[in-house]
Amino acid sequence: MSIQLGDTAPDFTADTTEGPVSFHDWKEGSWAVLFSHPKDYTPVCTTELGYTAKLQAEFAKRGVKVIGLSCDSVEDHRGWSQDIADTQGIAPNFPMIADADRKVADLYGMIHPNANDTMTVRSVFIIDPNNKVRLTITYPAATGRNFDEVLRVIDSLQLTDSHKVATPVNWKHGDDVIIVPAVSNEDAAQMFPDGWDEQKPYLRVVAQPS
């Protein structure tokens, strides 16, 4: 059974480039992004890990810890990190799990045998402070992910957790949002005293609450 939204993210212990990690203890009430890449010393993965390292300040600003994974050794992760620094201008500044025995990959369903039976696919799990899985993404090996999109989803999750709104297509932080249908107009008037644009009774657009 694959991991689904709302499930508790399975706990595990693993060796990483920053020493042994016990996942739930390591997260310790933070948001987390756990992501797998297929293999060290491969080109698309090199670009992904460099870009993710460049976003570190953005993740930190949102209270998010990042951790990577592939079925390689700590030694390989460390050697490859130098290549990432050489080519992308920055080395990974987050722990990388060495999952040579595929323990974590199997726990999270990161190996899709019909795609490849030894390498992890490009999985992303966004996990909230209560250890609930809030987003899963699966990309194939040849397609690099958009980590700006991962940040965008975190912005949406954090906003919609604290206000009774939802975010529309292609929303980004600061754009207008939608009042969720479960909120009556009477209650909406209390929550959004400056009013909203009622395009349909079920489509009420309002400025993003701060």
Minimal CA–CA distance to 151: which of 79, 58, 89, 71?
58
**45 catalytically annotated:** yes
In this complex, which beta carbon is closest to ligand BEZ, that of residue 19 or of residue 43?
43
CB of 177 to ligand BEZ, least distance (A): 36
Our finding on whether 154 is near ligand BEZ (CB under 6 A) is: no
Q: Which two tokens stand for residue 104?
A: 């974590």
Minimal CA–CA distance to 119: which of 131, 111, 130, 129?
111
Minimal CA–CA distance to 67: which of 92, 101, 42?
92
Our finding on whether 112 is near ligand BEZ (CB under 6 A) is: no
Our finding on whether 42 is near ligand BEZ (CB under 6 A) is: yes
Minimal CA–CA distance to 197: which of 187, 210, 207?
207
Cα separation, 59 vs 159, whole angstroms: 15
Minimal CA–CA distance to 10: which of 86, 84, 110?
110
Question: Looking at 4, 19, 113, 142, which residue binds ligand BEZ (CB under 6 A)?
Answer: 142
In this complex, which beta carbon is closest to ligand BEZ, that of residue 37 or of residue 134?
37
In this complex, which beta carbon is closest to ligand BEZ, that of residue 45 or of residue 206?
45
Question: Looking at 2, 6, 25, 43, which residue binds ligand BEZ (CB under 6 A)?
Answer: 43
Our finding on whether 32 is near ligand BEZ (CB under 6 A) is: no
CB of 140 to ligand BEZ, least distance (A): 8
